[in-house]
Amino acid sequence: MGKFRKREEFENLLAEEAEFGWVLLEKLDNSRVRFKRHIKERSRDRMAQSERDPYRSIYGWGQGRQALQIFAILTATLPIIGFVFMIVR
């Protein structure tokens, strides 16, 4: 979804991942990044003051919330599409 296009959002991600010792390996595009960390950084998992998962693979909205947003958009636009289809027929 291009979430990392905005510099502030990308820097926020880096700060959150640094909390668990993750270091940016590469930014693949505006939607995907790759991190690495030394094995000794695993000790941060238990000590962190965050409720986030140190091994998360989704940043921002989860897949369920994205699906709900798509469903809401489709539900809102279906009557319009149906109306246009009736006019064209």
| pLDDT value at residue 10 | 92
State how far the Cα of 14 lies from the Cα of 35, in Å rounded to an integer: 9
Please tell me whether residues 87 and 68 are part of one structural domain: yes
| Residue 34 pLDDT > 90 | yes
Judgement on whether residues 48 and 63 belong to the same structural domain of the protein = no
Whether 2 and 29 share a structural domain:
yes
Quick one: 2 and 44 in the same domain? yes
Do 77 and 41 share a domain, yes or no? Answer: no
Q: 28, 53 in Cβ contact below 8 A?
A: no
Whether residue 13 contacts residue 59, with contact meaning beta carbons closer than 8 Å, is answered with yes
Q: Does pTM top 0.75 for this prediction?
A: no
**Mean pLDDT across the chain, nearest whole number?**
84
> For the residues 51-67, what does the mean pLDDT come to?
73
Give the range of the structural domain holding residue 49, as residue numbers without chain letter.
1-56
Q: Which strand (E) or helix (H) includes residue 80?
A: helix 63-88
